[in-house]
Protein backbone atom coordinates (compact mmCIF):
# COMPACT_ATOMS: atom_id res chain seq x y z
CA UNK A 1 0.00 0.00 0.00
CA UNK A 2 2.73 2.39 0.94
CA UNK A 3 4.31 1.74 -2.37
CA UNK A 4 1.36 2.93 -4.35
CA UNK A 5 1.10 6.05 -2.32
CA UNK A 6 4.77 6.82 -2.54
CA UNK A 7 4.94 6.29 -6.22
CA UNK A 8 1.82 8.21 -6.85
CA UNK A 9 2.76 11.17 -4.76
CA UNK A 10 6.38 10.91 -5.79
CA UNK A 11 7.36 14.39 -6.60
CA UNK A 12 4.28 15.78 -5.02
CA UNK A 13 5.65 14.94 -1.61
CA UNK A 14 7.33 18.27 -1.16
CA UNK A 15 4.20 20.02 -2.03
CA UNK A 16 1.94 17.95 0.12
CA UNK A 17 4.25 18.60 3.03
CA UNK A 18 3.75 22.29 2.61
CA UNK A 19 0.03 21.80 2.80
CA UNK A 20 0.22 19.48 5.75
CA UNK A 21 1.79 22.19 7.83
CA UNK A 22 -1.42 24.16 7.70
CA UNK A 23 -4.55 23.58 9.69
CA UNK A 24 -7.49 21.96 7.97
CA UNK A 25 -10.46 23.89 6.71
CA UNK A 26 -12.08 26.11 9.25
CA UNK A 27 -15.50 25.35 7.95
CA UNK A 28 -16.49 23.24 5.04
CA UNK A 29 -19.14 25.78 4.19
CA UNK A 30 -16.48 28.21 3.16
CA UNK A 31 -15.95 26.72 -0.22
CA UNK A 32 -15.09 28.89 -3.21
CA UNK A 33 -17.79 31.08 -4.64
CA UNK A 34 -18.64 28.77 -7.47
CA UNK A 35 -21.04 26.24 -6.16
CA UNK A 36 -22.05 23.07 -7.83
CA UNK A 37 -18.82 21.30 -8.53
CA UNK A 38 -17.87 19.89 -5.19
CA UNK A 39 -15.38 17.46 -6.53
CA UNK A 40 -13.08 20.21 -7.58
CA UNK A 41 -13.54 22.51 -4.63
CA UNK A 42 -11.55 22.68 -1.46
CA UNK A 43 -12.47 19.08 -0.86
CA UNK A 44 -9.92 18.26 -3.46
CA UNK A 45 -7.20 19.24 -1.05
CA UNK A 46 -8.79 17.37 1.81
CA UNK A 47 -8.87 14.45 -0.50
CA UNK A 48 -5.11 14.49 -0.72
CA UNK A 49 -4.88 14.28 3.04
CA UNK A 50 -7.30 11.37 3.35
CA UNK A 51 -6.30 9.52 0.25
CA UNK A 52 -4.67 6.76 2.25
CA UNK A 53 -7.88 5.42 3.69
CA UNK A 54 -10.40 4.83 0.96
CA UNK A 55 -8.58 5.93 -2.14
CA UNK A 56 -5.80 3.46 -1.68
CA UNK A 57 -8.15 0.69 -0.70
CA UNK A 58 -10.13 1.25 -3.82
CA UNK A 59 -7.05 1.22 -6.01
CA UNK A 60 -5.77 -1.91 -4.30
CA UNK A 61 -9.04 -3.77 -4.72
CA UNK A 62 -9.61 -2.63 -8.26
CA UNK A 63 -6.09 -3.43 -9.37
CA UNK A 64 -5.76 -6.79 -7.68
CA UNK A 65 -9.09 -8.26 -6.74
CA UNK A 66 -12.31 -7.16 -8.38
CA UNK A 67 -11.72 -8.58 -11.80
CA UNK A 68 -10.23 -11.72 -10.38
CA UNK A 69 -13.11 -12.28 -7.98
CA UNK A 70 -15.74 -11.62 -10.58
CA UNK A 71 -14.08 -13.98 -12.92
CA UNK A 72 -13.57 -16.60 -10.21
CA UNK A 73 -17.08 -16.45 -8.85
CA UNK A 74 -18.74 -16.51 -12.24
CA UNK A 75 -16.64 -19.35 -13.54
CA UNK A 76 -16.90 -21.15 -10.20
CA UNK A 77 -20.67 -20.97 -10.13
CA UNK A 78 -20.95 -22.03 -13.73
CA UNK A 79 -18.61 -24.99 -13.23
CA UNK A 80 -20.51 -26.11 -10.13
CA UNK A 81 -23.78 -26.07 -12.02
CA UNK A 82 -22.31 -27.75 -15.04
CA UNK A 83 -21.05 -30.51 -12.84
CA UNK A 84 -24.42 -30.66 -11.09
CA UNK A 85 -26.17 -30.95 -14.41
CA UNK A 86 -23.87 -33.62 -15.64
CA UNK A 87 -23.63 -35.62 -12.46
CA UNK A 88 -26.98 -35.16 -10.79
CA UNK A 89 -29.01 -33.86 -13.61
CA UNK A 90 -32.21 -31.89 -13.66
CA UNK A 91 -35.31 -32.72 -11.74
CA UNK A 92 -38.27 -33.68 -13.74
CA UNK A 93 -41.82 -33.42 -12.54
CA UNK A 94 -44.97 -34.62 -14.08
CA UNK A 95 -46.69 -31.89 -15.95
CA UNK A 96 -49.94 -33.64 -16.40
CA UNK A 97 -53.03 -32.04 -15.02
CA UNK A 98 -54.02 -28.50 -14.53
CA UNK A 99 -51.35 -27.60 -12.05
CA UNK A 100 -51.65 -25.07 -9.35
CA UNK A 101 -52.20 -21.43 -10.15
CA UNK A 102 -49.45 -19.61 -8.26
CA UNK A 103 -48.56 -16.45 -10.17
CA UNK A 104 -51.20 -13.94 -11.14
CA UNK A 105 -50.71 -11.93 -14.29
CA UNK A 106 -49.67 -8.91 -12.23
CA UNK A 107 -47.00 -10.92 -10.46
CA UNK A 108 -45.76 -12.31 -13.71
CA UNK A 109 -45.51 -8.87 -15.33
CA UNK A 110 -43.63 -7.52 -12.34
CA UNK A 111 -41.33 -10.51 -12.36
CA UNK A 112 -40.54 -10.20 -16.01
CA UNK A 113 -39.93 -6.49 -15.70
CA UNK A 114 -37.42 -7.18 -12.97
CA UNK A 115 -36.00 -10.04 -14.97
CA UNK A 116 -35.51 -7.82 -17.98
CA UNK A 117 -33.82 -5.28 -15.71
CA UNK A 118 -31.41 -7.94 -14.48
CA UNK A 119 -30.78 -9.17 -17.95
CA UNK A 120 -29.87 -5.65 -18.92
CA UNK A 121 -27.90 -4.78 -15.82
CA UNK A 122 -25.85 -7.86 -15.09
CA UNK A 123 -24.30 -8.60 -18.48
CA UNK A 124 -23.58 -4.92 -19.03
CA UNK A 125 -22.00 -4.82 -15.60
CA UNK A 126 -19.77 -7.66 -16.66
CA UNK A 127 -19.00 -5.85 -19.88
CA UNK A 128 -17.73 -2.90 -17.90
CA UNK A 129 -15.69 -5.00 -15.54
CA UNK A 130 -14.06 -6.80 -18.41
CA UNK A 131 -14.04 -3.73 -20.65
CA UNK A 132 -10.37 -4.19 -21.28
CA UNK A 133 -10.99 -7.45 -23.08
CA UNK A 134 -13.79 -5.87 -25.09
CA UNK A 135 -11.53 -3.02 -26.14
CA UNK A 136 -13.58 -0.30 -24.48
CA UNK A 137 -15.02 2.42 -26.67
CA UNK A 138 -18.55 2.73 -27.89
CA UNK A 139 -19.51 -0.88 -27.17
CA UNK A 140 -18.71 -0.66 -23.48
CA UNK A 141 -19.92 2.92 -23.33
CA UNK A 142 -23.28 1.75 -24.65
CA UNK A 143 -23.18 -1.03 -22.09
CA UNK A 144 -22.77 1.65 -19.44
CA UNK A 145 -25.81 3.49 -20.67
CA UNK A 146 -27.81 0.27 -20.82
CA UNK A 147 -26.70 -0.46 -17.27
CA UNK A 148 -28.32 2.82 -16.20
CA UNK A 149 -31.48 2.17 -18.20
CA UNK A 150 -31.74 -1.30 -16.64
CA UNK A 151 -31.44 0.32 -13.25
CA UNK A 152 -34.39 2.57 -13.95
CA UNK A 153 -36.43 -0.46 -14.99
CA UNK A 154 -35.37 -2.25 -11.84
CA UNK A 155 -36.41 0.71 -9.69
CA UNK A 156 -39.83 0.61 -11.34
CA UNK A 157 -40.35 -3.11 -10.73
CA UNK A 158 -38.74 -3.09 -7.35
CA UNK A 159 -41.54 -1.69 -5.21
CA UNK A 160 -44.43 -3.90 -6.40
CA UNK A 161 -42.25 -6.97 -6.26
CA UNK A 162 -41.10 -6.17 -2.77
CA UNK A 163 -44.64 -5.64 -1.54
CA UNK A 164 -46.23 -8.64 -3.26
CA UNK A 165 -43.68 -11.15 -2.05
CA UNK A 166 -42.67 -9.65 1.25
CA UNK A 167 -44.88 -11.94 3.41
CA UNK A 168 -44.15 -15.30 1.74
CA UNK A 169 -40.49 -14.42 1.62
CA UNK A 170 -40.21 -14.00 5.41
CA UNK A 171 -37.92 -16.65 6.85
CA UNK A 172 -39.39 -19.78 8.49
CA UNK A 173 -38.16 -22.97 10.19
CA UNK A 174 -38.35 -24.80 6.91
CA UNK A 175 -35.49 -22.71 5.67
CA UNK A 176 -33.09 -24.23 8.20
CA UNK A 177 -34.08 -27.72 7.16
CA UNK A 178 -33.82 -26.68 3.52
CA UNK A 179 -30.29 -25.52 4.02
CA UNK A 180 -29.37 -28.68 5.91
CA UNK A 181 -30.31 -30.77 2.89
CA UNK A 182 -29.27 -28.08 0.39
CA UNK A 183 -32.72 -28.09 -1.10
CA UNK A 184 -32.44 -31.69 -2.15
CA UNK A 185 -30.41 -30.74 -5.17
CA UNK A 186 -27.54 -33.04 -4.35
CA UNK A 187 -29.48 -36.16 -4.94
CA UNK A 188 -30.98 -37.59 -8.06
CA UNK A 189 -33.92 -38.82 -6.07
CA UNK A 190 -37.11 -36.87 -5.75
CA UNK A 191 -37.15 -35.96 -2.12
CA UNK A 192 -39.69 -33.96 -0.25
CA UNK A 193 -38.13 -30.63 0.38
CA UNK A 194 -39.39 -28.59 3.31
CA UNK A 195 -40.40 -25.22 1.93
CA UNK A 196 -43.33 -22.88 1.83
CA UNK A 197 -44.42 -21.03 -1.26
CA UNK A 198 -40.81 -20.09 -1.67
CA UNK A 199 -37.87 -22.15 -0.59
CA UNK A 200 -34.87 -20.81 1.26
CA UNK A 201 -32.88 -20.53 -1.94
CA UNK A 202 -35.52 -18.38 -3.52
CA UNK A 203 -35.75 -16.35 -0.38
CA UNK A 204 -32.04 -15.82 -0.38
CA UNK A 205 -32.24 -14.63 -3.94
CA UNK A 206 -35.20 -12.40 -3.11
CA UNK A 207 -33.49 -10.71 -0.21
CA UNK A 208 -30.20 -10.30 -1.97
CA UNK A 209 -31.98 -8.89 -4.98
CA UNK A 210 -34.20 -6.60 -2.91
CA UNK A 211 -32.02 -5.36 -0.07
CA UNK A 212 -28.90 -5.70 -2.15
CA UNK A 213 -30.78 -3.99 -4.93
CA UNK A 214 -31.41 -0.98 -2.79
CA UNK A 215 -27.77 -0.77 -1.89
CA UNK A 216 -26.79 -1.31 -5.50
CA UNK A 217 -29.14 1.46 -6.59
CA UNK A 218 -27.85 3.76 -3.87
CA UNK A 219 -24.19 3.14 -4.48
CA UNK A 220 -24.73 3.19 -8.22
CA UNK A 221 -26.52 6.50 -7.99
CA UNK A 222 -23.61 7.97 -6.06
CA UNK A 223 -21.22 6.82 -8.71
CA UNK A 224 -23.52 8.08 -11.41
CA UNK A 225 -24.30 11.52 -10.09
CA UNK A 226 -20.89 12.25 -8.54
CA UNK A 227 -21.62 15.89 -7.71
CA UNK A 228 -23.95 15.81 -4.76
CA UNK A 229 -23.63 16.99 -1.26
CA UNK A 230 -24.75 15.30 1.92
CA UNK A 231 -24.10 17.40 4.95
CA UNK A 232 -24.31 14.32 7.12
CA UNK A 233 -20.99 13.23 5.69
CA UNK A 234 -19.17 15.86 7.68
CA UNK A 235 -20.38 14.27 10.86
CA UNK A 236 -18.73 11.01 9.95
CA UNK A 237 -15.57 12.73 8.83
CA UNK A 238 -16.10 11.41 5.34
CA UNK A 239 -15.48 13.40 2.24
CA UNK A 240 -17.90 13.10 -0.56
CA UNK A 241 -15.29 11.51 -2.77
CA UNK A 242 -14.62 8.96 -0.02
CA UNK A 243 -18.28 8.09 0.06
CA UNK A 244 -18.19 7.45 -3.66
CA UNK A 245 -15.19 5.23 -3.16
CA UNK A 246 -16.99 3.24 -0.48
CA UNK A 247 -19.95 3.07 -2.83
CA UNK A 248 -17.78 1.72 -5.62
CA UNK A 249 -16.27 -0.93 -3.37
CA UNK A 250 -19.68 -1.95 -2.06
CA UNK A 251 -21.15 -1.98 -5.54
CA UNK A 252 -18.46 -4.36 -6.70
CA UNK A 253 -18.66 -6.80 -3.80
CA UNK A 254 -22.43 -6.85 -3.72
CA UNK A 255 -22.40 -7.14 -7.46
CA UNK A 256 -20.56 -10.43 -7.10
CA UNK A 257 -23.23 -11.80 -4.78
CA UNK A 258 -26.07 -10.61 -6.99
CA UNK A 259 -24.42 -11.99 -10.08
CA UNK A 260 -23.78 -15.35 -8.45
CA UNK A 261 -27.36 -15.70 -7.27
CA UNK A 262 -28.71 -14.47 -10.59
CA UNK A 263 -26.85 -17.22 -12.36
CA UNK A 264 -28.17 -19.71 -9.81
CA UNK A 265 -31.70 -18.47 -10.38
CA UNK A 266 -31.28 -18.86 -14.11
CA UNK A 267 -29.89 -22.34 -13.75
CA UNK A 268 -32.64 -23.43 -11.41
CA UNK A 269 -35.45 -22.13 -13.53
CA UNK A 270 -34.06 -23.04 -16.90
CA UNK A 271 -32.14 -26.24 -16.29
CA UNK A 272 -32.26 -27.67 -12.79
CA UNK A 273 -36.00 -28.07 -12.63
CA UNK A 274 -37.41 -28.84 -15.99
CA UNK A 275 -40.50 -26.89 -16.79
CA UNK A 276 -40.40 -24.61 -13.84
CA UNK A 277 -40.12 -21.76 -16.29
CA UNK A 278 -43.69 -22.41 -17.39
CA UNK A 279 -45.07 -21.21 -14.10
CA UNK A 280 -43.79 -17.76 -14.88
CA UNK A 281 -45.30 -17.91 -18.32
CA UNK A 282 -48.82 -19.18 -17.71
CA UNK A 283 -48.92 -18.88 -13.94
CA UNK A 284 -49.38 -22.60 -13.27
CA UNK A 285 -46.97 -24.80 -11.43
CA UNK A 286 -47.22 -28.56 -11.76
CA UNK A 287 -48.74 -30.18 -8.76
CA UNK A 288 -45.96 -32.72 -8.70
CA UNK A 289 -43.36 -30.00 -8.44
CA UNK A 290 -45.17 -28.23 -5.66
CA UNK A 291 -45.66 -31.44 -3.76
CA UNK A 292 -41.96 -32.16 -3.65
CA UNK A 293 -40.22 -28.87 -3.85
CA UNK A 294 -42.63 -26.76 -1.76
CA UNK A 295 -44.01 -29.41 0.54
CA UNK A 296 -45.19 -27.11 3.32
CA UNK A 297 -46.97 -24.92 0.83
CA UNK A 298 -48.57 -28.03 -0.67
CA UNK A 299 -49.76 -29.13 2.73
CA UNK A 300 -51.15 -25.75 3.44
CA UNK A 301 -53.03 -25.66 0.18
CA UNK A 302 -54.36 -29.13 0.84
CA UNK A 303 -55.53 -28.11 4.24
CA UNK A 304 -57.28 -25.10 2.88
CA UNK A 305 -58.67 -27.37 0.28
CA UNK A 306 -57.53 -25.29 -2.56
CA UNK A 307 -56.36 -28.15 -4.67
Instruction: Please identify, using beta-carbon distances, which residue of 36 and 87 lies nearer to another protein.
Output: 36
Query: Pick from 69, 73, 77, 131: which binds another protein (CB under 8 A)?
Result: 131
Query: Pick from 1, 8, 83, 230: which binds another protein (CB under 8 A)?
Result: 8
* CA–CA separation, 138 and 144 (whole Å): 10
CA gyration radius for the chain? 24
Q: Look at residues 187, 193, 150 and name the one whose alpha carbon lies nearest to residue 289.
A: 193
Instruction: Please identify, using beta-carbon distances, which residue of 83 and 139 lies nearer to another protein.
Output: 139
* Cβ-Cβ contacts under 8 Å for 179 (sequence gap 6 or more): 200
Query: Pick from 42, 74, 250, 264: which binds another protein (CB under 8 A)?
Result: 42
Q: Find out whether 191 and 294 touch, Cβ atoms under 8 Å.
A: no
Q: Is 2 in the site for another protein (CB under 8 A)?
A: yes
Query: Pick from 32, 167, 189, 304: which binds another protein (CB under 8 A)?
Result: 32
Query: Pick from 117, 208, 241, 272: which binds another protein (CB under 8 A)?
Result: 241
* Cβ-Cβ contacts under 8 Å for 269 (sequence gap 6 or more): 276, 277, 280
Q: How many residues bind another protein (CB under 8 A)?
A: 71
DSSP helix, strand, coil percent of the chain (3-state; round to 5): 70, 0, 25
User: Shortest approach of another protein to residue 1 CB, angstroms?
Assistant: 11
Q: Is 141 in the site for another protein (CB under 8 A)?
A: yes
Instruction: Please identify, using beta-carbon distances, which residue of 169 and 247 lies nearer to another protein.
Output: 247
Instruction: Please identify, using beta-carbon distances, which residue of 139 and 180 lies nearer to another protein.
Output: 139
Q: Is 43 in the site for another protein (CB under 8 A)?
A: yes
* CA–CA separation, 120 and 237 (whole Å): 36
Burial environment of residue 247 by CB neighbours within 10 A (0 to 12, 13 to 18, 19 or more): buried
Other CB atoms within 10 Å distance of the CB of residue 290: 21
Instruction: Please identify, using beta-carbon distances, which residue of 137 and 189 lies nearer to another protein.
Output: 137
Q: Is 302 in the site for another protein (CB under 8 A)?
A: no
Instruction: Please identify, using beta-carbon distances, which residue of 49 and 80 lies nearer to another protein.
Output: 49
Q: Which of positions 249-268 make contact with another protein (CB under 8 A)?
A: none
Amino acid sequence: MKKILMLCLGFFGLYAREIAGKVPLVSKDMAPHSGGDLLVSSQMIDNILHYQTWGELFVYLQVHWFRLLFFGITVGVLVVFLLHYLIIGPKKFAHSGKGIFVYSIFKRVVHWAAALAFVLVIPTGFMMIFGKELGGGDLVLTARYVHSIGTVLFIVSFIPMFLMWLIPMLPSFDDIKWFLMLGGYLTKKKVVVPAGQFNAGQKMWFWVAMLGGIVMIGSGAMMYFQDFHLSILDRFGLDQIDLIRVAAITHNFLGMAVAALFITHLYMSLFAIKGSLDSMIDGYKSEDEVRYMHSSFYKKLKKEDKI
